[in-house]
Structure 1
Amino acid sequence: MARAQGARALMALAFETTYGAAPVGGFTRIPFASTSLGAEQPLQTSELLGYGRDPQAPIKDAVTADGDVVIPIDAEAFGFWLKAAFGTPTTTGTEAPYTHEFRSGNWALSSFSVETGIPEVPRYAMYSGCMVDSLNWQMARSGLLTATASVVAQGEEIASSTSTGTPASIALKRFGHFNGSITRNGANIGNVVSADLTYTNNLDRIETIRADGKIDGADPSIAALNGNVVVRFADQTLVTQAINGEACELEFSYTLPTGETLTLTAHAVYLPRPRIEISGPQGVQATFDWQAASDLAVGRMCTVTLTNDREDY
């Protein structure tokens, strides 16, 4: 009997027409680094008395299906996760390259189904009614560039063979930290050590009473976009903005030599007044835990633009 190994694990994704109903086709093979997506059902310990010191059999509790998926930020597959987090994009272009614009604030988010496969066992788990609760990634000077998608699913179905047919493949073109840049109001920010950004849908799980133990849905609530920027303290520009309570536009972008681009623009970013600490003879750093809000002129909080050779999502 073969033992399961992560190196042979598979993942495929397809968007649903009806929430919770896994599509019969249209799946795409999705690259991923790790996943904790799964269903669990805890046991409730018996509270009954009168049967001696040994407890009675426990009772099954509600089923919870959720988890994180760590994914590479690439020029094509990442668009599926952006669609799940922000909604269907507006795509322009009559031929490649195409520009896909994802906007925050959509009330209607696309649900999707994900199948994870462990072929050695075999075990194929289909998670339907999936919604992205949050999408997070970090910018740094070096290392592998990945994002973490926190997923809420309706339920899990286990099978001994795949239900995805033959998924479409994707030519992987990864962005790297070396391809990244950060601008403030259109000008480069100097002395940035690292940055972190998180977009959250704040999903509200509809936990009704059902015979199958599944949730009825997950509705998006007030969205949030926040993070931090760590800079070597060299001037008072950001501190002055924080003291004055002004907003700025921050743009986080990546560009590949082959022309593919990914840009997240936070249109109205507010900075807190940071504590400037001198901890020793080394350079002084300041951390700004920023928050984004809706920009009245643009009409939304943020825009994500992905340029690649894919015609639509």
Structure 2
Amino acid sequence: MARAYGANASLLAAFEPSYGTHPSGTTEYWKLPFVSTSLGSEQGLIANDLIGLGRDPSAPIRDVIKVEGDMVVPIDLRNFGLWLKALLGAPVSTGDVDHQHTFGSGQPVLPSLALETGLPDIPAYFESSGVMVNSVQVKFARSGAADATLGLIAQGEVKQLVSVDATPQALGITRFNQFQGSIKKNGQALGNVVAAQLTFSNNLARIETIRSDGKIEGADPTVASLTGNLEVRFADTDLIDAATNNAPLELTFSYVIDATKSLTFIAHEVYLPKPKLSISGPGGIQATFNWQAAKNTAAGRMFTVILHNDVASY
């Protein structure tokens, strides 16, 4: 009897023509790299409340179906653009050879995906429909691989014995690494940063209607949020002063391979809280700023992501 191993698992994705509608037979799927996933369908049980039938309980009642979970994916040069499209909507793409894709927050309607997680050792292929990307979290550090954690909400899941696409597209993997990262404040390099994190969320609202199949009706975007933190060695009072004066600033987080291969996250209007400084011994003093972003009038939005690569369009 075969046993499933993560090393042999596969992930295929395609955008749906409308929410929960399976892509047409001519739609090509992309084969995407991933680190881990907990996306899947679950249906709980509710204890039966009948009495008068003796001390032993009656059979439990099945609850509604939930299809959600997190997925950790590599931040790479090409495939990550598909996740950004699902998170923020279609980009504005320019360039004939060196392409620039600009994604922005605030779009009223977001696309949905069909995602297939394949276990060919069994074989078993689990396809989730109506998949919406609710959130993304990116951590910046001095070393290591650059990954993103995606929060996913889906409508349903079906199990198949064969893959939905035997010959999916593959964009190729060029992975960003943490040593290629940088952080800027108002266009200037921000020094003494030990670690940083940013989290963007669409704050999707599950539309939980009464249905015979137990599924949700949809997941609608509400007021988005962009938050994060900066952990810095205390070397000057620039950030403390900005927090004290409630002065907004622009934070830019980038991964750069070269002039035509880069990924940039821009929080256009960031507000810093004033942190308490603690001295716990003779070593260096650090401060953590848990920032929040807001819509910037000049930029017309809160959050922009710019991807430079060799992909013509998404």
- Shorter-chain TM-score range: over 0.9
Deviations 1:78-110 (A, max 9, x none): 0011001100000001x2210000001111101
Partner AA of 1:301 in structure 2: M
- Cα deviation, 1:169-214, whole Å, max 9, x if unaligned, reads 1210000001100000011111000000000000001111111111
Letter in 1 for 2:287: A
**Which residue is 1:165 aligned to?**
166
Alpha-carbon separation, structure 1, partners of 2:192 and 2:108: 38
Residue matched to 1:288: 289
C-alpha distance in 2 between matches for 1:235 and 1:22: 55
Aligned equivalent of 2:182: 181
**Counterpart code for 2:248:** A
Confirm or deny that 1:241 pairs with 2:232.
no
TM-score by length of 2: 0.98
Aligned match of 1:227: 228
Corresponding residue for 1:306?
A: 307
For normalisation by structure 1, the TM-score amounts to 0.98
2: CA distance, partners of 1:2 / 1:257 = 45
Q: Distance in 2 between matches of 1:197 and 1:239?
A: 19
1:259-302: per-residue Cα shift (whole Å, max 9, x none)? 31100111100000001000111100000000000001111101
**Mapped partners of 1:267, 1:76: distance in 2:** 24
* Aligned mates of 2:228, 2:117 — CA distance in 1: 30
Q: 1:139-190: CA deviations, max 9, x gaps? A: 0001221101111001001111111231101210000001100000011111
Q: Which amino acid aligns with 1:249?
A: E
The one-letter code of the counterpart of 1:239 is: I
CA distance in 1, matches of 2:59, 2:259: 62
Measure, in 2, the Cα distance between the counterparts of 1:108 and 1:52: 53
1:48 aligned to which of 47, 50, 67: 50
Structure 1 unaligned blocks of 5 or more = none
SS at match of 1:306: strand
Deviation at 1:258, TM superposition (A): 7.3
State the alpha-carbon separation in 1 of the partners of residues 215 and 93 from structure 2: 35
**Residues in 2 aligned to 1:299 and 1:170: alpha-carbon distance in whole angstroms:** 32
Structure 1 residue 22 displacement after superposition = 1.9
Q: d(CA) in 2 for partners of 1:144 and 1:307?
A: 19
Alignment-derived partner of residue 29 in structure 1: 31
2:12 aligned partner: 12
In structure 1, the partner of 2:87 is 85
Task: Please give the secondary structure, in 2, of the residue aligned with 1:32.
Answer: coil
In 2, the alpha carbon distance for the partners of 1:58 and 1:167 equals 42
Distance in 2 (CA, whole Å) between partners of 1:137 and 1:185 is 20
State the partner residue of 1:278.
Answer: 279
Contact preservation (8 Å) 2:199, 2:227:
yes
Residues 128-139 of structure 1 mapped to structure 2, 5 A cutoff? 128-139=129-140
TM-superposed CA distance for 1:32, in Å, is 0.1
CA–CA separation in structure 2 for the residues paired with 1:212 and 1:48 = 24
Match of 1:213, as an amino acid? G
Give, in whole Å, the separation in 2 of the partners of 1:188 and 1:18.
Answer: 43
Q: Is the CA contact (8 Å cut-off) linking 2:226 and 2:293 kept in structure 1?
A: yes
Alpha-carbon distance in structure 2 between the residues aligned to 1:183 and 1:258: 17
Counterpart residue number, 1:67: 69
In structure 2, which of residues 57, 60, 69 is the aligned counterpart of residue 58 of structure 1? 60
The alignment partner of 2:64 has SS state of coil
Task: Point out 4+ residue stretches in structure 1 off by more than 2 angstroms.
Answer: none
